[in-house]
Structure 1
Amino acid sequence: MSKKWGFLGVAAAGVGLVAASDLMQKKHSILRIYPVLGHARYSLEKIRPELQQYFIERNWDGRPFSRNTRSLIYSRAKGEIDTTAFGTEEDVYAPHHRSLVHSLKPKEPPAVPPKVRVGGPQCTQPYDISLLNISAMSFGSLSARAIESLNKGAKLGDFAHDSGEGGISDYHRKHGGDLIWEIGTGYFGARTPEGGFDDEVFASKAVDPQVKMVSLKLSQGAKPGLGGELPASKTTPEVAEIRGIPVGKTFISPGAHSEFDTPEGLLRFIDKMRTLSGGKPTGFKLCVGSRSEFLSICKAMLNTGLLPDFIIVDGSEGGTGAAPKEFNDHVGLPLSEGLTFVHNALVGVGLRDQIRIGASGKIATGNDIVRRIAMGADFTLAARAMMMSIGCIQAQQCHLGTCPAGVATQNAWRQRGIDVEDKAQRTMRYQQATVAAALKLIAVMGCEHPSELRPEMVRCNQGDGKPVTYRDRFEWLRSGELLSDDIRPSWQADWEAASTTKF
């Protein structure tokens, strides 16, 4: 009995100390008013995202990806059945609900998934890219085992893996998967001590046969206009050495490139990278902002004759990158608007057939691939869906280094949960199953090849629930229209404002 009372006394004393501390502190009003009990509020708040995701949200309304979408990715990655029964859970009359136009004379999907040849007239080493590839995620943002798993999955499935702007690490190279080397404003992996672009270092790495394409990042969907941000918790000695930056400090890349400051300068730089790489496909990635600035690049293409081999359009839907909420929510064009604009701009200057377009932004399902190709893309890239294929649970802690699945962290204990052999298989299965689903949809729509998809083959509900096709929803230019005397008013002002000598 005495032990029991002794324990209760110690507990009471502990509660009293907490209460006294709460009453004396000045930081939290709740604790000063409700000592001890107020801690319950902060505890529940801390686990609110988990409670919301697992017990409250419905299958179809989670953000950024719904439970239905996440479950589909997981099931495909595991090789499980990905069909459902008893009808759709979506409100097919809701605004923005999208549907595909099927044909009464469907085709058979191809036995071998088609690829897209990337490489314009100035490219000597074209690359055949898959319809779905791994989008840009750097080592440093992702763990070593995550990068290994993704790259080995790309090797097994014969699709491409974008390195992200953090440079090419040993984990990208270990399994030999095809790489798209992304170069950002920090020039990581090809950086001089002063932070500029090092021609010799770049050339020595870009000619590696594993590097299939080179992508210059102008901006990204998560934070258009801001440089990439690597938190101090992820700037380990290994990451710092690969990037050429200080250890243990948050590093923010510049917002703009130091190697050029005009549209013509951009194209000359791209042409230089193409030459240094031995003639490999070279292009750029951006989240569309100013229409006239992109049209300035188009005018510069006409003036210089220098063309990118591809352009990757990133949507403002964002990704794994850390960014201020205002940028995540309110800067840049969403993928649908950005993609159709870039496609139409290239059509309008008569260059669309010489430049391939990639689409990146919440690509997760076969339906996403079909819609983006119908809107003007040639191929697609996915980041978060690929992360989910190796175990990401959408904890949204990518920027904190505390990813519970070991995917977006440099913590050795957390990432030990990733088995590279198993996760590589999952990445491969997810990619193959999703491409196969896209090809089935394309066949049902009466097409034998993705290139046959057209805007009128996709419908989107208006605010009143009535569907219109993408042909009517978006504006579509005639080939060479921007070079004629008959430019539609909605493009006239932006085209006239575009300059080849300034952004």
Structure 2
Amino acid sequence: GGVLPGPKVSEEIAEARGVPAGVDCISPAYHTAFSTPKELLEFTAKLRDLSGGKPAGFKLCIGKPTEFMGICKAMIETNIYPDFIVIDGGEGGTGAGPIEFVDHMGSPLVDGLIFAQNVLVGSGVRDKMKVAASAKITSAFEMARVMALGADWCNAARAFMFSVGCIQAMRCQTNTCPAGVATQDKRRQRGLVVTDKSERVFNYHRNTLDDLAQVVAACGIYHPNELTPSLLCHRTSALHHKTYKHLFDWLSPNELLEGTKDEWYARQWKSARSEVFC
């Protein structure tokens, strides 16, 4: 959910979003177009058809395990697959969201991504779509980490917000951003000098990707898609560490369909339903 205060709803925004100008635009936490896993996939397919075949997918932060598993069951039953799924982390969020949602809702990115990767692989649908990751990803290492855990690419918003000049004045919702980043006020927008900030954004993007290439090379591989959990280490004590391969359980292709020995995954998979989010 989110709130775009009335003073920020300009004529241009109002036209694009189909809402009255100057009136608070309330985005609820639920979606009016679907209420079940199957309806979600049907809506995704509808968007793809209406856009002439352009890639269509959805973004979510993992909450109840059975809800995401229900979506995967619905994919198998309907034979409708999104082109991509973006896994967001609970540590992400927007200044337009309720503080309870920003601070206390959803799984952290690493936990959510590992779970989603396991369920997609275990249900045999992982190769039918791309998976992206987002949530405070700012550095080359953070990119490498989520790619090692299953992401095909990364999304970054906060990092580019900073590179374009955000000073964290915490006024996003007031339309009085002193840096000119989060405002529709023409006078305040002059604080964002495009010719200067565009170079900063370009440099951040280029240098971060260069750093990622160096990380990949240091791992002895040629491409980020070769990153695996066995290349990531987590210190478990002052004297010991484990790789992510051994720190977490990883499911094999079709393991959920054939009957996994992992009791937790087996119990959640059995409870999941394609007809209802439960």
Contact 2:36–2:276 (8 Å) recurs in 1: yes
Deviates more, 1:343-352 or 1:464-473: 464-473
Whole-angstrom CA distance in 2 between matches of 1:273 and 1:251: 23
Deviations 1:443-483 (A, max 9, x none): 10011111111101111223657432211222211111000
Q: Does 1:391 align with 2:165?
A: yes
Shift of 1:386: 0.4
What is the match of residue 266 of structure 2? 492
Shift of 1:486: 3.1
Whole-angstrom CA distance in 2 between matches of 1:381 and 1:485: 34
Q: Does 1:347 align with 2:121?
A: yes
Q: 1:448 to 1:261 in 2, by over 3 A?
A: same
Contact 2:2–2:98 (8 Å) recurs in 1: no
Contact 2:70–2:273 (8 Å) recurs in 1: yes
Q: Does 1:279 align with 2:56?
A: no
Deviations 1:378-430 (A, max 9, x none): 00010010011111122232223222211111222221111223322222221
Amino acid at match of 2:75: M
Q: Does 1:415 align with 2:189?
A: yes
Shift of 1:291: 0.6
Among 1, 8, 11, the alignment partner of 1:237 is: 11
What is the match of residue 324 of structure 1? 98
Among 412, 424, 439, the alignment partner of 2:198 is: 424
What is the match of residue 458 of structure 1? 232
Give the % identical residues: 48
Whole-angstrom CA distance in 2 between matches of 1:460 and 1:394: 31
Q: Which of 1 and 2 has greater Rg? A: 1
Question: Which sections of structure 2, spanning at least 5 residues, go unmatched?
Answer: none
What is the match of residue 256 of structure 2? 482
Q: Does 1:295 align with 2:69?
A: yes
Whole-angstrom CA distance in 2 between matches of 1:232 and 1:467: 52
Question: Which sections of structure 1, spanning at least 5 residues, go unmatched?
Answer: 1-226
Q: 1:403 to 1:472 in 2, by over 3 A?
A: farther
Contact 1:262–1:500 (8 Å) recurs in 2: yes
Whole-angstrom CA distance in 2 between matches of 1:470 and 1:446: 18
What is the match of residue 138 of structure 1? none
Whole-angstrom CA distance in 1 between matches of 2:21 and 2:46: 31
Shift of 1:228: 2.5
Moved over 4 A (4+): none
Whole-angstrom CA distance in 2 between matches of 1:468 and 1:402: 48
Q: 1:359 to 1:465 in 2, by over 3 A?
A: farther
Amino acid at match of 1:412: K
Among 329, 336, 339, the alignment partner of 2:110 is: 336
Deviations 1:7-57 (A, max 9, x none): xxxxxxxxxxxxxxxxxxxxxxxxxxxxxxxxxxxxxxxxxxxxxxxxxxx
What is the match of residue 37 of structure 2? 263
* TM-score normalised over the length of structure 1: 0.53
Among 26, 44, 53, the alignment partner of 1:252 is: 26
Whole-angstrom CA distance in 2 between matches of 1:310 and 1:492: 25
Shift of 1:492: 1.5
* TM-score normalised over the length of structure 2: 0.94
Deviations 1:129-171 (A, max 9, x none): xxxxxxxxxxxxxxxxxxxxxxxxxxxxxxxxxxxxxxxxxxx
Contact 1:320–1:398 (8 Å) recurs in 2: no
Amino acid at match of 2:120: L
Contact 2:7–2:175 (8 Å) recurs in 1: yes
Whole-angstrom CA distance in 1 between matches of 2:172 and 2:131: 28
Q: Determine helix, strand or coil for the equivalent of 1:460.
A: strand
What is the match of residue 364 of structure 1? 138
Whole-angstrom CA distance in 2 between matches of 1:372 and 1:287: 15
Contact 1:374–1:457 (8 Å) recurs in 2: yes
Contact 1:263–1:502 (8 Å) recurs in 2: yes
Q: Determine helix, strand or coil for the equivalent of 1:311.
A: strand
What is the match of residue 243 of structure 2? 469
Deviations 1:216-241 (A, max 9, x none): xxxxxxxxxxx221112312233222
